[in-house]
Each structure stands twice: as C-alpha cells, then as structure tokens.
Structure 1
Amino acid sequence: MITLRKAEHRGHLDFGWLNTKHSFSFGSYYDPEHMGFSALRVINDDIIQPNTGFDTHGHRDMEIITYIIQGAIRHQDSEGNVEILPAGEFQLMSAGKGIYHSEYNASDSEPLQLLQIWIEPNTRGGKPSYQQKNFGQEFGLTTIATPDGENGALQIKQDATLRQLILAPNQSLEFDIPLNRNMYVQQVQSELLVDGITISAGDGAKVEHQTQLKLHNPSTTNSTALIFELP
C-alpha cells in the first residue's frame, strides 16, 4: 500500500530568513494525521537566506540527518565540530544525552536549501557523535546510513537504513523490501514513478505491506530521491 504526502499539502511557514515546509508535525505546525512514520519523525525542507541561520540550540535522544540540496551550510557544535557542508553532503548527528549546535548559510549571496531529517533512536543517552560524508552521484541505490555503518556508511542508532536513489532519464530499478519493513520515499529532484504512481520534488510516499517496489524515472532529467527502510 502506497500513501502519498504531496508537497503542497505539507505544513508551510515563512519567516523571511527561513522558508520551511514540514512533512510531519513540527514546531508550531501540528497535524495529528501526520506525526511521523515508524521511527521517522521529521522531514523539513528548509530554504535559508544568505548570512542567516539557526542560532545555537540543543537536542537530545534524536538521530538528526542533514542533506544539502543547494548551497552550503556552516555547522558548529558543543563537541568541537566546526564544518562546512556543500551540496550533496550528508551529516548525521547523534544527539545522545545532549548536544548544542548552530547552523548558518555559509554564503553571503546565495540561498541554502536542505532537508533536516529526524529519526528516533532505539537507544537513549550516551555520548553524542558527529559524522559527515559525500557519497557521490552514482546511478542506482547508494547506502547512506545503517545500524552498523558497514562499507563506509554512516552509523545510525536505529534499525533503519537510508539510501540515495539516482536514476537517469527512462532508467528503472526494482527494489526488494524485507519482510515486515516499512519504506518511505522522499523525492528530492525531478520526478519518480513508484509502482506507477508519480511523485514530484517535495512529495513523500509511505510504503506499507509490500515486498517489492518498482521505481522508474519518466522525466528528461536525472531523478533523485531518499529511500528510508524502517522498522
């Protein structure tokens, strides 16, 4: 069963410096029908204006993934990490027993677009940790994060796997879903057919009670999506 979450139906807030769209309830946006999906709690699509950003603030007991779509972000946290993340980079911050960080657009002229993703951990407390990596732009599926962090993937504190999907125009791929697993497809760029259902940039698709997905790029440009495998 596939349930669509269309981009235009997301929560939308515009603060001037920040234009943000929420796939699930977050902050002042509350929708009891969209509180998350399995362990996936937040997908925020943020556009941040030059020389602005999020001042230092705290998190705990959350796996926070940042994916840069356009521009670059300047990150600093209480664990001593000071980094610039360009477009295409993935960051995974395990908040553990508590971490403080700030995030700013690193440019003084260009907007920054990113996805901020929260996944609830299966263990609480512990020392915070920080990881970041660019996994390239290879066609097909690229594993980004797993519980064990094998083969160079980021290590996440949850029985979940995040994959990057890139398909060339008219390229197809079939994906086997392990038994009793939930999937969530977040479209990032262009279009994608998910079992024949079209999703566009910003759309999400919950996939439940299925053993396979058929994915196809019907457009004339490369299609990029994030695919979450969840308990």
Structure 2
Amino acid sequence: MKTFLHRAGKCGMNDKSSFVRHDDNHCEQSVLGALCLLKETEIEPLGSCELQPHRDVGIVTFVTHGLLEHKDSDGSRGVSRAGQMQYVTAGNNIRLLDHNPSAVEKTKVLQLWIIPRQKGFMPRYEQRNCDMDRLNRWALIISGNGRKNSLRIEQDITVRVSHLFMGHTLVSDPIQTGYGRLLFVLDGEVNACGHTLKRRDELHVIGDEAFEITANRDAHLFLIDVPMSDFE
C-alpha cells in the first residue's frame, strides 16, 4: 500500500486543486483517476462564482455552511442549504453560476469535479439531503448505481461520510482492484496509515488493503473510492 499525504496549507485548497494542474475554470490533467478536482470555497454575502467547464464533467457540491443558489445556461436552478448537496452534469462550454443569496452569512462549499464514464451525456441537475445518520460509522451518499438511496452519478465513484467521535476507530474496508482512495478531513483530527491528518488534510491511498482511522478529536470525514485504470 502506498500513501501520499497532502497538507491543507501546502495544497492551497482555497484556491486550487491538490490533484491537478488547472486554471480557475477547468481541469487539465487528472492525477487521481476520475476525480480531477477537490476544492473548498467560501462565497461572500451576495457574492457569486462563475464556472465554465471546457470538458464534460460532473460536479458535486456539498454545502457546509449557509445557502447556495445554482443557475446554469441550460436553465437549471435551485437553492441548497447546509446539509444538502447538488449534482450537475456539464457538457462543453456550459456556464455555471454559484451565488450566495444571503446578505449576512458567508457560504462554504466542498466541491468535487468528476470525469464521467463517457462523453456526451445529457445535462442534469439534482439536489439531495446529505445529513444522514453517520455517527461513528460510514454512510454511503454517492455511488455509480444509486445503491442504498445514494446519489447516482455518471461514474463508478463512491463517497462515504462519517462524524467520528474522539477515541473511536473506523475501518476503511478493502478496496476494489483498480481503484484509488482518498481520505479528506473536513474538520477535526485523525490518525490513518501512520499519518496525523488535521482540518482539510487529505491522504491518497493506492492499494487494496483496509486501514484504520482513529479520531484524536471529533472529526467529519469523507472517504472517496476512485476508478484509476481509465485515467492513468
């Protein structure tokens, strides 16, 4: 098993991806399979962020604080609040606008950009709750087939979340051959694979062995399994 630790301060998570070389609008090169971007962003009150992907891409946005209004050039729109997520499939040159409708609160989001199984899919917008019971266990919230009432996306990625209390341990479970794994700490502190991860740190794991994750402090975690073979 190989591990690669990316510290939040060194990754520049607020303004660029730790996975790829890219400009502000689109991915250019994937280095963790089908997951080409992981980014945490803050939007000021009444502020907006316009994105214009230059390739087919699926975008999952988790609202972690405040409100997020989505609009795109295909006519989809919706407002998500903290504890919800939205999924947008964007073809070439579609324009996306994320807006904070609050005049008081900042909006905070965690965003995943995902290369789909194939190009040329139909545009899609879907909004879901993601505040599932996840105390000291994994809850599956995203998959490629929608199992266990998870959000179905156009790629064989799985995303699990957990709120792990201090002193508790979770096991990652074995991973399917041909997949990579990413552990992202939204907040708190954990130990995994001999590393200590704090807020916004991420650990890339290549290998099919299971590993343990122990919380030094209460922590919110994302565990993402990513197909690698078609994107190496």
Identity of aligned residues (%): 26
Question: Residues 88 and 53 of structure 1: is their aligned pair in 2 closer, same or farther, counting only changes over 3 Å?
Answer: same
Query: Mind listing any 5+ residue stretches in structure 2 that lack a counterpart?
Result: 228-232
| CA root-mean-square deviation | 2.3
Alignment partners' CA distance in 1, 2:54 and 2:219: 33
Q: Which position in structure 1 is the counterpart of 2:173?
A: 176
Alignment partners' CA distance in 2, 1:188 and 1:165: 10
Q: Which position in structure 1 is the counterpart of 2:230?
A: none
8 Å Cα contact 2:85/2:128 also seen in 1:
yes
1:98, distance to aligned residue in structure 2 (A): 6.0
Q: Which position in structure 1 is the counterpart of 2:18?
A: 23
8 Å Cα contact 1:59/1:100 also seen in 2:
no
Alignment partners' CA distance in 1, 2:85 and 2:174: 24
1:101, distance to aligned residue in structure 2 (A): 2.4
- Whether 1:154 aligns to 2:155 is no
Range that drifts further, 58-67 or 157-166: 58-67
Give the paired residue count.
Answer: 220
Q: Which position in structure 2 is the counterpart of 1:226?
A: 222
Residue from 37, 41, 47 that aligns with 1:42: 37
Q: Which position in structure 1 is the counterpart of 2:162?
A: 165
Q: Which amino acid aligns with 1:123?
A: Q
Alignment partners' CA distance in 2, 1:128 and 1:79: 8
Alignment partners' CA distance in 2, 1:155 and 1:137: 16
TM-score scaled by length of structure 1: 0.86
Q: Which position in structure 2 is the counterpart of 1:6?
A: 7
Counterparts of 1:59-208 in structure 2, within 5 Å, are 60-96=55-91, 99-138=94-133, 139=135, 140-180=137-177, 181-208=179-206
Higher share in strand:
1
Alignment partners' CA distance in 1, 2:71 and 2:37: 21
Q: Which amino acid aligns with 1:218?
A: N
Range that drifts further, 110-119 or 89-98: 89-98
Matched residue SS, 1:151: helix
Range that drifts further, 170-179 or 198-207: 170-179
8 Å Cα contact 1:36/1:42 also seen in 2:
no
Alignment partners' CA distance in 2, 1:114 and 1:212: 29
1:135, distance to aligned residue in structure 2 (A): 2.2
Alignment partners' CA distance in 2, 1:52 and 1:74: 11
Query: Mind listing any 5+ residue stretches in structure 1 that lack a counterpart?
Result: 13-18
Question: Residues 151 and 99 of structure 1: is their aligned pair in 2 closer, same or farther, counting only changes over 3 Å?
Answer: farther
Q: Which amino acid aligns with 2:222?
A: L
Matched residue SS, 1:94: strand
